[in-house]
Amino acid sequence: AAWRACRLAHEHKVEALFIPGDLWDDEAVSAETIARLHEAFAALDPIPVFIAPGNHDFCSPTSLYNDDVLRARGMRAWPKNVHIFRSTSFTTVHHPTRPEVTITGRAFVQNVSIEERLLREPIPRPPASVSVLLFHGSDRFEEGKLFTAPFSRAELLAQGFSYAALGHYHHYAEIVDEEGRVRAAYAGCLAARYLSEAGPHFALLGEIGDRGLLALEKIRVDERTIHDVEVDVTGAESEASVRERIGRRLRECGACASDIIFLRLTGRLPRGLRASALTDCFEREYFHLAVADLTRPAYDLDGADPRTVQGRFIHKMRERIAGTSDLNERALLERALYYGLDALIQGEVEPIYEE
């Protein structure tokens, strides 16, 4: 995806390529990946590439942003058209062919959370007709992501940059000023890496004026999209009806053959009818199909006779479930309820309710 994004930059004759961090995920990035990045960036010369290392691709003395480390490993140094911000303090450089344009950035030097609000105070920089900020940080809390270098919309806009290229989050998001102009944007990652990163991903092609973006185009550089699809199979009484529901929902989501499907099956089914066993026919239609079977058997929890062992068990377990606010404990108790009913009603227990 990075190679295709560079080719896109070349085709559109852009004047700069901005990478606000997390060019790779961790220190274990392969030499082959670095070599391909070098090749892609060198092919852009004389287009300058500006990189502000983030918390994953942090710029430490032993990182692969260090040319001495690269040479020690028998690798080429970064191409001359690549500028890497290496300091934890903000520094500003002029565009090599557009001296009226400045680019300001900083680097993470380790993968740790930064609590300091780095945009709270004005960032010193020389005057410029167009000023660009490369910043890796969090404008909001997002589950599963490190909350680091926090900032608010107001803090960012108060800095007065023409535009800020933001990094950290993996989906597109923008910040607009009071006049509705886009003053900052998270491009997100070029291609989804996990099933949790469903939806389209883009490279951003833009034209920057002195007060924000004059034009913005979101261009996909990865042919695949991950679709997170939930299907409630409650009420389905046969294999055919389960397949029909799944097929209808997959058609509605607009997935094509090159896409990846994360299919989450929910709801209640008659005991013995396992929805996850009915998805084989869909695997051939997509590049990859992953299934999470979250269904539960359609036991009549409300109609159980409280005088029976089964009824008393249901009552006690539901009391415990209702009495906890811990989501993990609640999920554990719900699984225990169904395993217990399997033992009481079916006379056997299989580990089928684990997520």
Alpha-carbon span 147 to 297, nearest angstrom: 39
Q: What is the C-alpha separation between 228 and 219, in angstroms, rounded?
A: 21
Instruction: Cite the DSSP H helix spans in the chain.
Output: 2-11, 31-42, 67-72, 153-158, 239-252, 280-283, 309-322, 327-341
Q: Whole-model pTM? A: 0.83
Distance (Å) of CA 282 to CA 138, 257, 272, 273: 39, 11, 21, 18
Mode of pairing for the β-strands spanning 182-186 and 173-176:
antiparallel
Topology given in CATH for the domain delimited by 2-219? Purple Acid Phosphatase; chain A, domain 2 (3.60.21)
Delimit the domains of the chain by residue range: 2-219, 224-298, 299-355
Distance CA 174, CA 182 (A): 7
Exposed/middle/buried for residue 306 (C-beta within 10 Å: 0-12, 13-18, 19+): exposed
The per-residue pLDDT for 95 is 98
Closest CA to 118 of 82, 162, 166, 189: 166
Segments of 85-146 assigned E as strands: 91-94, 101-105, 130-136
Torsion angle of alpha carbons 150, 156, 162, 163, nearest 10°? Answer: 30
d(CA 136, CA 150): 9
DSSP result, 251-312: HHTT--TT-EEEEEEESEE-TT--GGGG-HHHHTTSSEEEEEE--EE---SSSS-TTSHHHH
pLDDT score, position 355: 66
Given this model, what pLDDT does residue 10 score? 94
The pLDDT score that the predictor gives to residue 47 is 97
C-alpha radius of gyration, the chain, whole number: 26
What is residue 320's three-state secondary structure? helix
Per-residue pLDDT of the chain (355 residues; tens, 9 = 90+): 888 999 999 999 999 999 999 999 877 889 999 999 999 999 999 999 999 999 999 999 999 999 999 999 999 999 999 999 999 999 999 999 999 999 999 999 998 889 999 999 999 999 999 999 999 999 987 666 678 999 999 999 999 999 999 999 999 999 999 999 999 999 999 988 888 889 989 999 999 999 999 999 999 988 899 999 999 999 888 888 999 999 999 999 999 999 999 999 999 888 777 776 778 889 999 999 999 888 888 888 999 899 999 999 999 999 999 999 999 999 999 999 999 998 998 888 888 787 6
Query: Where are the alpha helices (H) located in 73-122, listed in sequence order?
Result: none
Q: Which residues of 286-299 are buried (b: 16+ CB within 10 A; e: fewer)?
A: beebebebebbbbb
Going by C-beta distance under 8 Å and a sequence separation of 6 or more, which residues neighbour residue 68? none
> Residue 143's pLDDT is what?
66
Query: Which residue, among 38, 114, 20, 46, has the nearest Cα to 75 in the 3D structure?
Result: 38
Using alpha carbons, list the distances in angstroms from residue 119 to 17, 142, 159, 164, 248. Answer: 23, 19, 7, 12, 48
